Chains A and B, each alone.
Chain A
Amino acid sequence: QQQVKQSPQSLIVQKGGISIINCAYENTAFDYFPWYQQFPGKGPALLIAIRPDVSEKKEGRFTISFNKSAKQFSLHIMDSQPGDSATYFCAASIEGYGNKLVFGAGTILRVKS
């Protein structure tokens, strides 16, 4: 049973478009929500993260939107570029609980030039 559900499984976006990936969680004790980016042949790397005391966090072209009541959060990639083509994982954890991350299933993003 997956505690963090991620959709879609794959996504194709035109260059310059907006990529949106959604995640939903079940455990209300989760209080840290990171997104990891993984390029082929590489390990995942932290992209951006949010805590539930804010509804949105923006870093450059990447934005996390967080809806605590709906237990959902999403990653928006504005002005998507071919270099953004990668697998994206959402995750959740409980701070102070041994750094344990629970990952979503991943979304393969392809940005067409």
Chain B
Amino acid sequence: EAQVTQNPRYLITVTGKKLTVTCSQNMNHEYMSWYRQDPGLGLRQIYYSMNVEVTDKGDVPEGYKVSRKEKRNFPLILESPSPNQTSLYFCASTFLASNEQFFGPGTRLTVL
């Protein structure tokens, strides 16, 4: 089944404790992206990658890191999480020649 998977789905952590949210897609998509969803703000792009070893900042990159060592994986790293990073996070992927983005099921993160 073609899909984007994220792990974990739910995470509660404390301020300053490094964490990684994994994202993997099995559709051979070149483009991958991370969004955060907050009430009243919609989805805002954090980082994106147009191919292996090519990443760039989105609209709200502060406090986040990403890497793209393999085409299928695009982990989101929070080196020192803070309460304002409490949010619902989505990973998405697509072909560069396509406009339709496929989203993962989301990761709900709470930072205490």
Question: A interface vs B, CB < 8 Å?
Answer: 2, 4, 6, 9, 32, 34, 41-46, 49, 89, 93, 95, 98-101, 103-106
Q: List the A residue with the shortest CB-CB distance to B35.
A: A103
1/0 per position for B42-59, CB-CB distance to A under 8 A? 111100101000001010
A42 close to B41 (CB less than 8 A): no
Give every chain A residue within 8 A of B44 (Cβ-Cβ). 103
**B4, B40, B100, B106: which contacts A105 (Cβ < 8 A)?**
B40
1/0 per position for B4-42, CB-CB distance to A under 8 A? 100000000000000000000000000101010000111
Give every chain B residue within 8 A of A41 (Cβ-Cβ). 105-106
**A9, A89, A98: which contacts B48 (Cβ < 8 A)?**
A98
Give every chain B residue within 8 A of A32 (Cβ-Cβ). 99
A99 close to B99 (CB less than 8 A): yes
Interface size class of B (residues with CB under 8 A): 20 to 34
Between-chain CB contacts (< 8 Å), 11 pairs: A42-B106, A43-B92, A43-B103, A43-B104, A45-B102, A99-B33, A100-B45, A100-B48, A101-B45, A103-B35, A105-B42
Give every chain B residue within 8 A of A4 (Cβ-Cβ). 42
The binding surface of chain A is classed by DSSP as: loop
Q: How far is the CA of A5 from the CA of B106 in the complex (A)?
A: 24
Q: Is B101 an interface residue (CB 8 A)?
A: yes
**A34, A99, A104: which contacts B31 (Cβ < 8 A)?**
A99
Closest beta carbon of chain B to A44's beta carbon, Å? 5
1/0 per position for B87-107, CB-CB distance to A under 8 A? 000101010101111111110
